[in-house]
């Protein structure tokens, strides 16, 4: 039998030299950075988000924005957004800006920053919302994997702790679901639900466990 060829989705654009330049740019800017409390290079997260965007039908601009969605927040602030616009165009820069919750240093306090981002997300267009949802889906899946491996200690990695982190992703899920659902937002809903179920099933949250109720 002949191997099946990958099906092309109408409207998708072929990835070209701009995508490669964006990948190299992201790899350079995030060089030395790793995912929280791990040795995993941060570029792995960016590739994961770009993959989700492409699988959901995103075009080259959105795939590039996915690769660069954290470059302003983590690699230079507002001046970096100008560089993104110069190198990759206004549409990419607009999406990256729509995925950024802080462009100044030091960053505002965690809760204040997240609440402001959620309010801002309500005004963003479908491009930014798609890339942002892919980012959050990749994050939640990573938390699930790490929770299965190390349990409650995973929350020490996050500024919001357990309660703040769960609040953030629940609120984001609800915000994304206010609009017409798509492949990414449906998967995000499932992932947040799975994380909630894991946490609820943990012995530390069982009032009848030897640890007693959590306070």
Q: Cα 105 from chain centroid?
A: 21
Q: Which of 74, 83, 152, 194 is catalytic?
A: 74
Angstrom distance (rounded) from CA 114 to CA 126? 20
Q: Which of 60, 61, 70, 73 is catalytic?
A: 73
Residues with Cβ within 8 Å of 171's Cβ and at least 6 positions away in sequence, in order, are: 118
Dump the DSSP string for 31-86: TT-BSTTS-SBTHHHHHHHHHHHHHTT--HHHHHHHHHTTHHHHTTSHHHHHHHHH
- The question of whether 74 is a catalytic residue gets the answer yes
List C-alpha distances in Å: 88 to 42, 48, 134, 194: 21, 20, 20, 37
Angstrom distance (rounded) from CA 196 to CA 176? 18
167: phi then psi, degrees, rounded to nearest 5: -55, -45
The distance in angstroms from the start CA to the end CA of the chain is 61
Catalytic residues: 73-74
């Amino acid at each position: 039998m002949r191997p099946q060829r990958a099906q092309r989705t109408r409207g998708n654009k072929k990835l070209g030299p701009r995508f490669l330049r964006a990948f190299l740019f992201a790899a350079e800017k995030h060089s030395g950075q790793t995912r929280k409390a791990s040795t995993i290079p941060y570029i792995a997260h960016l590739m994961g988000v770009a993959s989700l965007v492409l699988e959901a039908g995103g075009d080259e601009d959105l795939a590039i924005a996915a690769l660069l969605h954290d470059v302003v927040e983590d690699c230079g602030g507002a001046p970096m957004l100008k560089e993104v616009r110069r190198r990759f165009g206004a549409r990419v820069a607009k999406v990256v800006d729509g995925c950024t919750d802080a462009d100044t240093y030091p960053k505002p306090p965690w809760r204040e920053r997240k609440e402001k981002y959620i309010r801002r997300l309500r005004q963003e267009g479908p491009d930014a919302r798609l890339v942002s949802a892919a980012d959050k889906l990749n994050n939640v899946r990573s938390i699930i994997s790490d929770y299965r491996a190390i349990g409650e200690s995973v929350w020490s990695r996050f500024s919001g702790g357990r309660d703040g982190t769960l609040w953030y992703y629940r609120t984001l899920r609800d915000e994304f679901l206010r609009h017409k659902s798509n492949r990414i937002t449906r998967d995000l809903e499932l992932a947040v639900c799975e994380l909630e179920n894991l946490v609820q099933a943990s012995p530390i949250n069982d009032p009848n466990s030897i640890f007693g109720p959590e306070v």
